[in-house]
Chain A
């Protein structure tokens, strides 16, 4: 009778230790996965923001119409705000900057990505052939 109680007590301790170990391990794995998923989301958002910035700069450099100064785009559940700013450097040169902003979550500040390039006033030809 005493032996049986002792054995039952040992099994309970083993189960508690095993549960604690399993819990710790799963907690670590879960945190790792959460960080990974967060990084994946951030990467996806940055790739998306980069694409929007590149598109906005291409539009501004190629002087296509319409090429709005500011737009909002919804992509995969995230709202991106794209704004383009032109700043003259001199008479023949303009700096073009595209800024993309998107919400990062309740606990973090807003994410932002800024790309810039320059465009010259050099005219293109009317003809199509090249030398």
Chain B
């Protein structure tokens, strides 16, 4: 009555075969679906990364647009003044100043930020923007970072024809009794004051027309530059104007011949930024720009041949009498005294030992002894910033080739 055992086994075998075929088909489908799912996830990851990159680009553009509104003359608008920030670890050294640039809310609900960084010693006019962004949460955690640098008109370039004379004055010079004054121009060899001169010793922008004849005679020039030959041990040219000029109101001829379009406000802001950053004469690296408003005499050594400084005694410091530099105090770099074309503020002045350049916005009557002023080829390095050809230093613009990106 029942089926034979062979027939029962045939049915079980058929069932197993069918189950095996179904399993095979399912596995094949699952395998192809898995490959497709991986492709899908990969493409979604690429999409998230691309969108994060676009968001970072938008953050960078927003930061650039904010900087375009920057006004160098308004300290409150300087983003470095408003918010300081610890710099990223790859920006090593006290000279790096960083600040968060506030951005409006991300339009698509993601997050973005922009960090500004600049080197206060070598390139305060090159601001690095570091923008980072991530998409909204539904897009996952893709994050993109973009970097770009812009030139900012915070410091004008030093003029290419700036004077390299050891002493630049805007009036007549004489030396006090018993003076051991030394004014030495750039030399052809390595020994200042002994090797042959290679430049101008003194550049004077103002000689009074004492006889009122409308011209400056040789005797008037000689009377104006009443320095003993011993005060110019290496010789060098003495340049004075051939025709009379007006000095009042103070024409700032000495400043313009050395600093060109760099304004005192720019130098003061630069000095303040270095001070706020904690740079000083003993820090590593050392401060390079010193704007001094105090009338006290200067007694601190500053700079070195490798790291010269710019020391400015402001009109405030020179309100009554410009600060003297103590005897034997060495300054490597440029010293400027803003005497406002008033010779009396410089009477009996003392220069210490300046290896670089001394610029005085007045004459130097009875220049004190123990003043050594030796020209040095790196005298202007502290404020001689790099401005590539084609860059307009008067406006904000991108640094070519500075853009890099990093997507995670």
Name A residues whose Cβ lies closer than 8 Å to a Cβ of B: 3, 6-7, 10-11, 14-15, 17-18, 21-22, 24-26, 28-30, 32-33, 35-37, 39-40, 43, 46-47, 50, 54, 57, 61, 89-90, 92-93, 95, 115-131
Contact = CB atoms under 8 A, between A and B. Distances in A.
A131 B126 contact: yes
A128 B22 contact: no
29 contacts: A7-B7, A11-B7, A21-B19, A22-B22, A25-B26, A26-B22, A29-B25, A32-B26, A39-B40, A40-B36, A43-B43, A50-B50, A57-B54, A92-B65, A115-B54, A117-B57, A118-B57, A120-B60, A120-B64, A120-B65, A121-B65, A122-B67, A122-B396, A125-B390, A125-B398, A125-B399, A126-B391, A129-B388, A129-B389
B162 interface: no
B64 A122 contact: yes
A125 B391 contact: yes
B28 A10 contact: no
Contact of B47 (A26, A29, A50, A119): A50
A32 B400 contact: no
B138 interface: no
Q: Kindly name the residue among A28, A35, A95, A130 whose own CB sees the greatest number of chain B CB atoms within 10 A.
A: A130
A29 B28 contact: yes
B177 interface: no
Which among B25, B46, B151, B396 has the greatest number of chain A C-beta atoms within 10 A? B25
B30 A116 contact: no
Interface in B27-51: 28-30, 32-33, 36-37, 39-40, 43, 46-47, 50-51
Given A32-B30, A50-B46, A95-B107, A40 B399 contact: no
Given A33-B33, A40-B36, A117-B55, A46 B47 contact: yes
Given A32-B26, A36-B32, A131-B399, 5 more contacts: A7-B7, A50-B46, A93-B61, A120-B60, A127-B388
A31 B69 CA distance: 60
A78 B399 CA distance: 42
Given A22-B21, A29-B29, A32-B33, A121 B68 contact: yes
A120 B397 contact: no
Contact of B18 (A22, A40, A47, A61): A22
Contacts of A35: 33
Contacts of B69: 92
A117 B22 contact: no
A14 B123 CA distance: 88
A125 B50 contact: no
Nearest to A2: B1
Interface string B379-405: 000000011111110011111111000
Given A14-B14, A125-B399, A116 B54 contact: yes
Interface of B: 1, 3-4, 7, 10-11, 14-15, 17-19, 21-23, 25-26, 28-30, 32-33, 36-37, 39-40, 43, 46-47, 50-51, 54-55, 57-58, 60-62, 64-65, 67-69, 107-108, 123, 126, 150-151, 386-392, 395-402
Given A92-B68, A125-B397, A117 B54 contact: yes
Contacts of B65: 89-90, 92-93, 120-122
A75 to B, nearest CB: 15
B133 to A, nearest CB: 10
Contacts of A29: 22, 25-26, 28-29
A116 B123 contact: no
A18 B68 contact: no
B389 A93 contact: no
B22 A124 contact: no
A99 B30 CA distance: 34
Given A116-B108, A127-B400, A25 B61 contact: no
B26 A28 contact: yes
A54 B50 contact: yes
Contacts of B22: 21-22, 24-26, 29
Most buried by B among A30, A89, A125: A125
A94 B42 CA distance: 31
A22 B33 CA distance: 20
B399 A130 contact: yes
A25 B391 contact: no
A24 B39 CA distance: 28
Nearest to A113: B47
Contacts of A117: 54-55, 57-58, 61
A124 B391 CA distance: 9
A128 B390 contact: yes
A10 B107 contact: no
B49 to A, nearest CB: 10
Nearest to B68: A92
